[in-house]
Structure 1
Amino acid sequence: MGQIIGYQRVSTLDQNTERQLDGVECDKVFTDKASGKDANRPALAQAMDYAREGDTVVVHSMDRLARNVDDLRRVVRELAAKGVTVKFHKEGLTFTGEDSPMNNMLLTMLGAVAEFERSMILERQREGIAIAKAKGKYKGRKAALSSEQADELKAMRKAGKSVTAIADHFGISRQTVYNYS
């Protein structure tokens, strides 16, 4: 009998994973605090690498594993190809790689619902921002640098200082240096 491997995901650092896998006994748990917009998440990669034939990966719900059908099917397929069972606690579904057409349809349909849900969230967010901008209540993100710092950055660039050195000096990304110069 293999190990029970838990995978949890929340979208932000301040969110809590307590409700996920509550009451599920796991030998090891991997947790990501990142958006589910794509499958490029460190703990997910570690969990997939860690899982061996005979293991079971348990996830609270499909939308915690992936927010689009392609990623969901790919992750489940890759794990099943290794002989790993994938269980979705909330949906009560288990995938082994030898699944029935009904199971595969459910995986695709429920994955599509998660993808649709994410699209609707983004659409509502864009609409809300547009309304707030029209009312003058949305100012956007706070500038990374003050106007004095921006002037200093431009002078440093003009003097030939490297983008990396400038980024380190101000504690900003290289892209932000490019945006200001």
Structure 2
Amino acid sequence: MRYGIVREGPSLPPVAIQRRLLDAAGCDVVLQEGQPTPEAQRRLARLLFGLKEGDEVLVHSLDAFQRSTGELAQLIRNFLEVRVTLRILGDGVDGQAALEPTENVLRVLSLLAEHESRRPSRAPPGAGSRTGSGSRNPLSKYQVDYARKLHREGASLRSIGLLFQVSPNEVWEAIGD
């Protein structure tokens, strides 16, 4: 199945242009959302971590995921492990770039480096990580319960971490299975 993602953002072209590219590429499902919200990010994460082998995700550029470079690295690594293809249709790409499960890591790293150079860090300079901010557990009681349930059902620590936007180590510390 081909999934297209259309998002609003300062580094993205107008929604209509993104939509035309995805429609021309023959997407089966197009997820179109306005300004990013935490709920929109959670919906997108649920979609992305429910993909199956052979699925394709099409975007104008990596900016459509609205994630940090580290979060993108984890997402793309998950795609490659599940054998999902990521196609980038615009953003100065000659034709289209595809990150298929068989491609090497160098292509992924070059895309991530290009993305990092265009996108400022989300955290102000000198800001520590979430775990160093005084909180022993970055997840609420309900998130921990849900994370435990997902882990028992076979979800990886990485996918759970991406869902809650914490590292796999933080998930493990919280659920302690």
TM-score bracket for this pair, using the shorter chain length: 0.5 to 0.7
Q: Which residue of 1 aligns with 2:84?
A: 84
Equivalent-residue separation in structure 2 for 1:59 and 1:104 (angstroms): 15
Q: Which has the larger radius of gyration?
A: 1
Aligned length: 114
Describe how 1:143-154 pairs up with structure 2 within 5 A. Answer: none
Relative distance call for 1:73 and 1:20 in structure 2 (3 A) is: same
1:21-78 Cα shifts (integer Å, max 9, x gaps): 4122110111232339x89703422321442110111011111123421121111112
Q: 1:49 to 1:114 in 2, by over 3 A?
A: same
SS in 2 for 1:41: helix
CA contact (8 A) 1:32 1:41 kept: no
What is the RMSD computed on CA atoms of the aligned residues? 3.1
Which has the bigger relative contact order, CA under 8 A and spacing at least 6? 2
Distance 1:46 1:28 in 2: 15
CA–CA distance in 2 between the matches of 1:66 and 1:114? 12
**Any residues of structure 2 matched to 1:57-76 within 5 Å, and which?**
57-76=57-76
Residue 118 (structure 2) aligns with:
114
Aligned structure 1 segments of 4 or more residues deviating by more than 6 angstroms: none
- Give the TM-score normalised by the residue count of structure 2: 0.53
TM superposition score normalised by structure 1: 0.52
Please report how far the alpha carbon of residue 19 of structure 1 lies from its aligned counterpart in structure 2 after TM superposition.
1.1
For 2:17, which of 16, 19, 25 is the aligned residue? 19
Q: How is 1:164-179 mapped onto 2 (pairs within 5 angstroms)?
A: none
CA contact (8 A) 1:30 1:43 kept: no
Letter in 1 for 2:56: T
Tell me whether 1:94 sits opposite 2:98 in the alignment. Answer: yes
The residue type equivalent to 1:20 in the other structure is: Q
Q: Percent identity?
A: 19
Q: Gapped runs of 5+ residues in structure 2?
A: 125-177
